[in-house]
C-alpha cells in the first residue's frame, strides 16, 4: 500500500476512535500552555498537570515568572525531570515575552523557536491551540514511534519526520493528527505493544 493511501486509511480509523482530540495539558492562558509544553519534554502530561496546578496558582502573570527567584522556581518544578534547566527556560522565556513582545505570545514559528527550550514541536502546539495557525506537525515520542511503526517514515529525527508527514497529510489534518496519534499510542499501542488488539494493526509495516 502506498503511504498516501495508507495515511488516509489511518486517518479514517483515528477519526472514528478520537473524533474531537484535545490536548490533555491543563492551561488557561497562552503563556500557561507554553510553560506546560516546555515542561512536558521528558515528562508525562499527567505529571505536568499535577505540577502546574500548584505552579499556575502561584505564578498568575508572565511578570511573576520573569521576577521569580530561580531557586524558588526550581523547587516548584522539582518533581519533574530536568527541572533546573526548565526553570531557567521558563524564567528567560517570560523575560523575552515581557520585554520584547509586550507580554504577548508571538504568532510565528520563527519567533517562538527563539525562546529557550522551544523547538518546532512546542511551537506547533502553541500556534495550533492558541491561534489556529498550522505551520507544521508537532512530532513527539508517540508520533515518532507510531509513524515509523506504520512505515510512514524511516527517519528518527523529529524535524525530518515532520517533513515526511507534511508531504503525506492534508494541511487541515496537521494539527489534530498529533493528538490522535498520542491518544492512539496511549489507548491501544504503547511501547513494546504486541499488537493483539490494535485497531490499526493491518497497517503496520513489515
Q: What is the CATH number of the domain that holds 147?
A: 1.10.1670.10
Looking at 131, 155, 171, the residue that finishes a domain is 131
Q: Are 157 and 81 part of one and the same domain? A: no
End residue of a domain, out of 97, 112, 131: 131
Q: Are residues 126 and 47 both part of a single domain?
A: yes
Could you read off the pLDDT of 70-126 as tens digits, one per residue? 999 999 999 999 999 999 999 999 999 999 999 999 999 999 999 999 999 999 999
The reply to whether the predicted model has a pTM over 0.75 is yes
Q: What is the pLDDT of residue 182?
A: 94
Question: What is d(CA 198, CA 190) in angstroms, rounded to the nearest whole number?
Answer: 10
Place of cell 505570545: 105
Residues 125-179: tens digit of each pLDDT = 999 999 999 999 999 999 999 999 999 999 999 999 999 999 999 999 999 999 9
Q: Kindly tell me if the per-residue pLDDT of 206 is higher than 80.
A: no
- Domain end, chosen from 89, 105, 131, is at 131
Which pLDDT value is given to residue 98?
A: 97
Q: How far is CA 13 from CA 10, 75, 120, 153, in A?
A: 5, 43, 27, 19
C-alpha span between 121 and 138 (Å, rounded): 4
* Residues 34 and 117 placed together within one structural domain of the fold: yes
Instruction: CATH number of the domain at 76, please.
Output: 1.10.340.30
Query: Do 127 and 174 belong to one domain?
Result: no
34-37 — which CB contacts under 8 Å span 24+ positions?
34/93, 34/105, 34/115, 34/118, 34/122, 34/126, 35/65, 35/90, 37/121, 37/122, 37/125, 37/126
Same domain, 10 and 99: no
What's the domain count of the chain? 2
Instruction: Check if the beta carbon of residue 89 is closer than 8 Å to that of residue 113.
Output: no
Same domain flag for 43 and 115: yes
pLDDT digits (tens, 9 = 90+) for 39-71: 998 899 999 999 999 999 999 999 999 999 999
pLDDT at 183 over 80: yes
Domain boundaries, position 162: 3-22+138-203
Tell me if 34 sits within 8 A of 93, measured CB to CB.
Answer: yes
Catalytic residues: 121, 140
Whether residue 127 sits in one domain with residue 157 = no
Say yes or no: 79 and 160 in one domain: no
Q: What does the pLDDT read at residue 42? A: 87
Amino acid at each position: 500500500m502506498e503511504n498516501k493511501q495508507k495515511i488516509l486509511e489511518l486517518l479514517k480509523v483515528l477519526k472514528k476512535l478520537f473524533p474531537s482530540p484535545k490536548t490533555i495539558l491543563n492551561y488557561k492562558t497562552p503563556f500557561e500552555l507554553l510553560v506546560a509544553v516546555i515542561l512536558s519534554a521528558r515528562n508525562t502530561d499527567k505529571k505536568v498537570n499535577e505540577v502546574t496546578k500548584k505552579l499556575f496558582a502561584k505564578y498568575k502573570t508572565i511578570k511573576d515568572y520573569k521576577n521569580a527567584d530561580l531557586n524558588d522556581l526550581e523547587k516548584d518544578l522539582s518533581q519533574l525531570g530536568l527541572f533546573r534547566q526548565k526553570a531557567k527556560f521558563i524564567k528567560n522565556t517570560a523575560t523575552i515575552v515581557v520585554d520584547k513582545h509586550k507580554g504577548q505570545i508571538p504568532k510565528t514559528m520563527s519567533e517562538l523557536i527563539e525562546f529557550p527550550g522551544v523547538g518546532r514541536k512546542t511551537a506547533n502546539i502553541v500556534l495550533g491551540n492558541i491561534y489556529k495557525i498550522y505551520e507544521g506537525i508537532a512530532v513527539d515520542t508517540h508520533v515518532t514511534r507510531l509513524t515509523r511503526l506504520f512505515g510512514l517514515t524511516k527517519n528518527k529525527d523529529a524535524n525530518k519526520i515532520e517533513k515526511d508527514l507534511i508531504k503525506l497529510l492534508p494541511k487541515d489534518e496537521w494539527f489534530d493528527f498529533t493528538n490522535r496519534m498520542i491518544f492512539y499510542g496511549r489507548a491501544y499501542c504503547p511501547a513494546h505493544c504486541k499488537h493483539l488488539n490494535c485497531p490499526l494493526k493491518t497497517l503496520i509495516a513489515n
